[in-house]
Amino acid sequence: MADTEAFIVSLVQMRPGQKGKIVEINGGYGLTQKLDTLGIGAGKEITKVSGQLMRGPVLLQHNNTQAAVGFGMASRIIVEVHRKDKK
């Protein structure tokens, strides 16, 4: 598309309110498994609800499920987002 461009970022780098699609979970079996129990995994649409100051947990939403994940985990969740091309 002309006015939007796909970016690959981690959940940490997303802006609050931004939507995106998970590309991959860059973590071990434990993390993948934990997220899987909530139905969150590669290919799923998610919305970042908020992030906390000082490397605090990140809140994400998938369907009607909201979950808080630690900063480290969030940085290993890789998401594709579309945003207006500004830079």
Partner 1 sequence: MGNPNVGKSVVFNRVTGTSVIASNYPGTTVEFTKGSIKLGDRRVEVIDVPGTYTLEPTCKAEQIAVEMLNEHADGDVVINVVESTNLERSLNLTLQLLKRKIPAVVALNFWDETKHKGILIDDKKLEQILGVPCVPICAVTGEGVKQLVERVKEAKLSEYDYEDEERWHEVGKIVEKVQNITHRHHTWLERLGDASVRPLTGIPMAAMVMFLAFKVIRFIGEGLIGYVSEPLFEKLWMPVVMKLSAVMGSGGFLHNLVIGQLIDGEIDFGQSFGLLTTGLFVPIGAVLPYVFAFYVVLSLLEDLGFIPRLAVMVDTLMHKLGLHGFAIVPMLLGLGCNVPGALATRVLETRREKFIAATLLSIAVPCAALQAMIVGLVGEHGLGYLAIIYGTLLAVWVLLGVIFNKTVKGESPEIFIEIPPYRIPYMRSLLKKIWIRIKWFLKEAVPFVLLGVLIVNLLYTFGIIQFIGKITAPVVTRVLGLPQEAVGALIVGFLRKDVAVGMLIPLGLTIKQLVIASVVLAMYFPCIATFTTLVKELGVVDMLKSAGVMIVSSLIVGGLLNLVLP
14 counts as binding partner 1 under rule CB under 8 A? no
Under rule CB under 8 A, residue 4 binds partner 1: no
Residues 6+ apart with CB under 8 A from 75: 10, 11, 12
Q: Is 83 in the site for partner 1 (CB under 8 A)?
A: no
Stretch that binds partner 1, among 3-11, 18-26, 28-36, 77-85 (CB under 8 A): 28-36
Span of 4-12, 18-26, 62-70, 79-87 interacting with partner 1 by CB under 8 A = 62-70
Residue 67, classed as helix, strand or coil, is strand
**Taking a C-beta distance cutoff of 8 angstroms, is the pair 80, 11 a contact?**
no
CA dist., res. 61 & res. 9, Å (int)? 17
Per CB under 8 A, residues contacting partner 1 are: 16, 33-34, 36-39, 41, 49-57, 59, 63-73
